[in-house]
Chain A
């Protein structure tokens, strides 16, 4: 469980990035943190693995105050994938990159090999096992960063912009995998601008603006509320936008995906033909 109690954070240059944030994320939750550029999303999640410590207020991870433990201790429990993969990758080959944490945590050699191959396969990187991460495309590098954390199966997973640079099929794979983790009661926290991805996952959404939380609730409720969405510099999913434009035709106002859309339209046309 992650408990954030009235947290403030100011960077050395004087920027106040968090201004009194409080929230609780329970074990097994799937949360998407969204909101405008510079709202403080990355700053907030860096508090969850102790990379940043609050200027004021407290962050507890499973009851432990993050100011009282090292990042290395927290790292065993909290996996963190950076927004920019280049901040994370340093090894000579993709295989070394993915096995690094596994070795650090003293997994057995056989387990390491198995986990590495599993992660390579999950993220479509098998053919790059012996390649340098710096010779890969942008989307591939992001997937190496994801693989290196998913491989050791942390209890809490924090993914800053996991879908950046990913094509539709990779995103689908990632979505299925996250939902699977979630079914196993892992906590998954993503920071994302990808409205379509969130619409398809329907997690709990936390909206941030200007260092504060301005909304917290089910994706379906939040992404279909035009007012709150605009306040957080978000645009509703494309399907929802269609129904916002058709608001005078009596459709439900919280339609998120294509299948719901199809049903609503066919229903409405059927009624008309009676």
Chain B
């Protein structure tokens, strides 16, 4: 069975007239790196909230259809129980921070799971170093800059090392080098430890190259779902107006100009530069 599977999932927030996601049926396999994108307001965050049980346990509303996460039927298991399998980095980091120091915030989830003290120490230090906040460990989270807070939110989920990590625009407040580093860290966790990654992002320039699988949503529904290169090269993806990576766009334009580029679609500047180099060398 897939590690996450939804069947005809439809959800309406309390007080809302229309569902925010409709008939969503997707499958995410263990160890995949999945990118979820689509216009602002299309339902990405809502879908993520179904993966860790915030929907339907915290946001009540009306849930129809099924969600299974790590073999558990989400509506039959508590948020606490699901947290052993899924970690969610919230879109707004402030909603995730509450402790008196950065270090305590990062340790909070592990303490809750009853992990031994020295193991907590090790994992907290590891996560703080990976996210570049070790020097801030004694600071109060509410006295940090936006990007520093977001790093704390990421660290507190990484420290848990859950088998599924869901990240909802996790680097929107990060400086560009910091964002690149975080994506590399996530990618490494995915490749080395087989952690399943679900990343919500608008900025495909930065992230498409890491994804095996991309899901594009529009207006509460799944518009496209498949292998990254073929989805991003499709006409539908262009029409819905997701920001296709610039390297991919340049490739498409040069192909129209009949430049003799290889037929695999590039997703990054590295891939595009390598393809251009082949053409430039052979001229």
Measured CB to CB, the residues of A under 8 A from B are 11, 13, 15, 35-39, 42, 83-84, 86, 135-140, 143, 161, 164-171, 193-196, 230, 232-235, 237-239, 241-242, 245-246, 249, 258, 261-262, 265-266, 268-269, 272-273
Contact = CB atoms under 8 A, between A and B. Distances in A.
Contacts of A165: 40, 91, 169, 172, 202
Given A138-B91, A193-B173, A261-B250, A167 B259 contact: no
B15 A135 contact: yes
A135 B270 CA distance: 41
9 contacts: A38-B145, A138-B169, A234-B176, A238-B269, A239-B269, A241-B273, A265-B254, A272-B280, A273-B283
Contact of B147 (A37, A196, A237): A37
Interface string B84-102: 0000000110100000000
Q: Report, nearest first, the 9 A-B pairs whose CB atoms are least far apart.
A: A37-B147, A139-B40, A168-B243, A272-B283, A245-B273, A241-B269, A233-B177, A235-B176, A169-B241
Contacts of A38: 144-145, 147-148
A193 B173 CA distance: 7
B205 A167 contact: no
Contacts of B213: none
B108 interface: no
Contacts of B268: 238
Interface of B: 13, 15-16, 38-41, 44-45, 91-92, 94, 139-140, 143-148, 151, 168-169, 172-180, 202-203, 205, 241-243, 245-247, 249-250, 253-254, 257, 259, 268-270, 272-273, 276-277, 279-280, 283
A161 B173 contact: yes
A246 B94 contact: no
Of A35, A196, A272, most B-chain CB atoms within 10 Å: A196
A37 B177 CA distance: 10
Given A42-B145, A242-B269, A273-B283, A230 B246 contact: no
A140 B147 CA distance: 20
Q: Count chain B CB atoms within 10 A of each CB in A83, A234, A238, A261 and give the residue with the most.
A: A238
B100 to A, nearest CB: 13
A166 B143 contact: no
A235 B180 contact: yes
A139 B276 CA distance: 36
A99 to B, nearest CB: 22
Contacts of B146: 37, 42, 83-84, 161
Given A37-B151, A165-B172, A86 B94 contact: yes
A209 B254 CA distance: 38
A11 B143 contact: yes
B169 A242 contact: no
